[in-house]
Structure 1
Amino acid sequence: MPFSRRGIFVRMVILASCIAAAGESAAQPKTPVPDAAAQQTAKKAAGELFADRFTQAKTTAEKTALATDMMDAAGRVQAGSADQYVLLKISLDVAAGTGDAATALQAVERLIEQFDEPAAELIGETLLTAARQATTSAQHKAVAEAALSIAGKLSDADQYETALRLYEAARSSAQRAKLFPLAKELTAQIEETKRQQLLSEDYRKALSVLEDKPTDPEANLAAGRHLCFVKGNWARGVPMLALGSKPPPPPNTRRLPKRP
């Protein structure tokens, strides 16, 4: 499958929306991930069906074609079955293993549409694998551009560790593709994500304090800063910032001794 910048951009938008929607109630319940026994049976069937292709696929193009054909096969089996899950998962692994982020993300998209997989973790790990395996400038470019969008959504979902790992991998890919302005932008995002991570840690600590001391100034200040400046939730954050403003010390009411 030829590299398509438009295709991967559209896929990034869809996957970013999946991350943003994580934790919200889905309109339709998703299929649980098949158990280990069912997956093992499906893997055996897939291995037999594509045995010759696995043996013959040596080049990146051949492996990408194999991944694409396995995705096509997944569309012809029963929706939500172990066979479908395994075909998509193997397709994802094959594509990511060749550094083909676009094809791997296509498999991810179909997996998280049908199955109850953790979207943020799956997307992040897929891009990290593609980044490690990328060899061409086009592959590194695709990884860097995709990661820039996805890592931001991971940060929004409080997945800071995965976001930082992805930003670091994306910066390395951008440098290898000689996309130096993008590498500079990713460096700035890394620093910003580290700042957000620290504020998030302070926020969690502050919430713990506020359970027992709802008017504690320092805890309100930390919580308010996180809500306003990281999450953009000014409606909740501003009242906390107000409570976090330390009141002026009480006036000295002691009477000075009268001078003789």
Structure 2
Amino acid sequence: MFKKIVLNGTFCLSLTLSFCLLAQDKAPAVNNEKGNKNLDIKDINILEDLNDVGQKAPVKADVPSEKAVEVRKVVSKLDVPEDDVLKKSIAGIRDVYAEKYKSSDAKVRHDLAVEFLSEAKKKEHTPAVQYAFFMEAIQNYAYAGDVAGIMKAIGELDSVFRINRIEFTEKELASCEKYAKVQNDQSALAEAYAGCYSLALENDLYDAAAKYLNSASIYAKKANNNDLMNEIRELNKDMLVLKKEYALVAGSFEKLKTVPDDPAANSAVGKFYCFTRGNWEKGLPLLAKGQDEKMKQLAGDELKNSVEVPEMTKLADGWWALSEERDYRLNQNELRRRACFWYDKLLPSLASLEKIKVEKKIELACSSFGIKRSSLNLPKGAVLAFNFEKNTIVKIGATPIISDLSGQKNDGIIHGVKFVKGAAGDAAEFNGKDSYIEVKDSKTLALDASLTVEMWLNPLDFSIRRNPYNKCYGGEGTMTIEVSGAINFFTGATGKDAEGGYMGASSSKALLPGKWSHVAVVRDQKANRIAWYFNGELASETPFAMEVKASKLNILIGKGYAGAYSGMIDELAIFNRALSEKEVKDLFNMGKKSQSF
């Protein structure tokens, strides 16, 4: 969410560079610029550039070299160079690029920033020169008024050097304020400050978070951006709740700084992270050192990371039993949610009455969250299913989550998506800018054999190429809507978004603006083909004999490497096999009757 690029006061696409494909149609080089990282609910921030998450656009200038990749793999970050050495490096860069520095043209300076950021990633440079390139990239992005470029450069800098990312970002955004004279620039600045808020919140810096949110509000008002103002108001409500809860345990946080093994403080802070923030990874080690013996035992068992069915059953039953006890009723929903986390993992290994028993527990828990959870109407093999009904959405901490109805627990993190009347019940509405749903990569989504992706689409705009569904165009697959309205499915053998090693299969038939269409793409590895279905009917077949390699990228619904999707999506499901024509037809007929799965 909140990702725009500003150039001369106008939001624009990233630099478009063409490159060769092993496909029938070219894959574009536009909007998104970030490498995709595994994302947990604990890592959620509103501004993806601050989080350094998302999917990377196949722009030649931005495709990392092997050396750049090696830099990112280094576990230990580099120290910031000494001032005198850094000044010499900056002077050297400005001397080499003196002619371009003379230009006052924003586009020239923006191109210079892109070039510098590319150079900064090269390991062949000394640390001082690398850091200098990062700093000069940031300065030139600021000169061009490109807030998103600044955020990206800071994210890259933070991945290599030890910096205080929050303070660094605040300083650079402040330097941009004098350039924010038009509404688009002011909106971009507001969104960037909202990202700082989110990053501060994740680090329990509530006073700083309030300050950043106030700055976001100021620039949203200047931009007369009512949608953004409404979103900031909601963020403020969440912040006030979290700030109040944090105040109750602030003393325990302080205690742990001097007495890290204090049982009472560990219990208080552990419960805050697990129950209030929904961050069990951070909270469990604290609960395991706490004074509550029952939670201490369960947390300790979790930290053993057992994948054995008896141990997972013990954990699921243990958290559930705790939720039933009178002393834990205040946290019943959170405890049941944790039990369901383990029950979901167990379901594939259960059979008969035991499976029914667990499913009923999950249904009971979901009903207490206000969730309707069912996958009875889906063909077998579903690994992800969103019907986009409002009652499948819950909040974990301040984060809205949409529940996966497949039973595989591939829940989605919602970024700015609205839910409106759709093809069958509610649907997700995407604004074509910064709204999307993100699903963390998992073993069940690493589909390197046959698969099916189906959904209802109601697009609004074909002015640029857009991605309603994006995993990896060099791996499991990505859908790209062409300006003609036809859809390409790109998939490949590299397991990453990079030049070469993939091909595309066109739907031939085209979507219509403002009209609902059911689409399904089937990659059948046994039959060596990719088939497209439109409204239950076979639309095209493309021979496909490539060996697919799974990626580590997250699924993005409503955005991708080509462009953000504008329109509605309903009844989206992914299957780990090739559905038959009849099964696709049945899914179409179900939606046609306004029936949600």
TM-score in same-fold range (> 0.5): yes
How far did residue 125 of structure 1 move? 3.7
The 5-angstrom pairing of residues 90-239 of structure 1 reads 90-131=136-177, 133-207=179-253, 226-227=272-273, 230-232=276-278, 236=287
Q: Distance in 1 between matches of 2:237 and 2:175?
A: 23
Q: Which moved more, 1:47-56 or 1:225-234?
A: 225-234
How has the CA–CA distance of structure 1 residues 86 and 163 changed in structure 2, closer, same or farther, with 3 Å as cutoff? same
| Contact 2:116–2:134 (Cα < 8 Å) also in 1 | yes
| Contact 2:52–2:152 (Cα < 8 Å) also in 1 | no
Q: CA RMSD in A?
A: 3.9
Aligned match for 1:7, one of 27, 32, 46 = 32
How has the CA–CA distance of structure 1 residues 132 and 202 changed in structure 2, closer, same or farther, with 3 Å as cutoff? farther
Residue 97 (structure 2) aligns with: 50
| Contact 1:100–1:134 (Cα < 8 Å) also in 2 | no
Q: Which moved more, 1:67-76 or 1:171-180?
A: 67-76
How has the CA–CA distance of structure 1 residues 27 and 61 changed in structure 2, closer, same or farther, with 3 Å as cutoff? closer
| Contact 1:140–1:174 (Cα < 8 Å) also in 2 | yes
Q: Distance in 1 between matches of 2:229 and 2:169?
A: 21
| Contact 1:63–1:95 (Cα < 8 Å) also in 2 | yes
Residue 114 (structure 2) aligns with: 68
How far did residue 208 of structure 1 move? 5.3
How far did residue 156 of structure 1 move? 1.4
The 5-angstrom pairing of residues 19-58 of structure 1 reads 28-57=75-104
1:52-108 Cα shifts (integer Å, max 9, x gaps) = 333322x43343233233334435673452112112112212323553212212221
Q: Which moved more, 1:86-95 or 1:205-214?
A: 205-214
Q: Give 1 or 2: higher strand fraction.
A: 2
How far did residue 180 of structure 1 move? 0.8
How has the CA–CA distance of structure 1 residues 68 and 178 changed in structure 2, closer, same or farther, with 3 Å as cutoff? same
Amino acid at match of 2:85: A
5+ residue gaps in structure 1?
Answer: 19-25, 246-260
How far did residue 186 of structure 1 move? 0.8
Q: Distance in 1 between matches of 2:126 and 2:164?
A: 16
How has the CA–CA distance of structure 1 residues 136 and 207 changed in structure 2, closer, same or farther, with 3 Å as cutoff? closer
TM-score by length of 2: 0.33
**Partner SS for 1:7:** coil
Amino acid at match of 1:47: R
Residue 257 (structure 1) aligns with: none
| Contact 1:7–1:102 (Cα < 8 Å) also in 2 | no
Residue 22 (structure 1) aligns with: none
How has the CA–CA distance of structure 1 residues 130 and 14 changed in structure 2, closer, same or farther, with 3 Å as cutoff? same
How far did residue 39 of structure 1 move? 0.5
Q: Distance in 2 between matches of 1:134 and 1:201?
A: 36
Q: Give 1 or 2: higher helix fraction.
A: 1
Q: Distance in 2 between matches of 1:176 and 1:27?
A: 42
| Contact 1:203–1:222 (Cα < 8 Å) also in 2 | yes
| Contact 1:228–1:238 (Cα < 8 Å) also in 2 | no
| Contact 2:273–2:279 (Cα < 8 Å) also in 1 | yes
Amino acid at match of 2:101: F
| Contact 2:109–2:141 (Cα < 8 Å) also in 1 | yes
1:103-159 Cα shifts (integer Å, max 9, x gaps) = 212221221222222333333443444345322222223233344345223201223
1:222-254 Cα shifts (integer Å, max 9, x gaps) = 7587445642357749959x59x9xxxxxxxxx
Q: Distance in 2 between matches of 1:228 and 1:75?
A: 37
How far did residue 49 of structure 1 move? 1.9
Q: Which moved more, 1:120-129 or 1:205-214?
A: 205-214
**Partner SS for 2:198:** helix
Q: Distance in 1 between matches of 2:274 and 2:187?
A: 34
How far did residue 191 of structure 1 move? 4.3
| Contact 1:167–1:186 (Cα < 8 Å) also in 2 | yes
How has the CA–CA distance of structure 1 residues 14 and 66 changed in structure 2, closer, same or farther, with 3 Å as cutoff? closer
- Identity, in percent, stands at 20
* Aligned residues between the structures: 232
TM-score by length of 1: 0.68
How has the CA–CA distance of structure 1 residues 8 and 159 changed in structure 2, closer, same or farther, with 3 Å as cutoff? farther
Q: Distance in 1 between matches of 2:84 and 2:272?
A: 45
Q: Distance in 1 between matches of 2:121 and 2:74?
A: 22
**Partner SS for 2:132:** helix
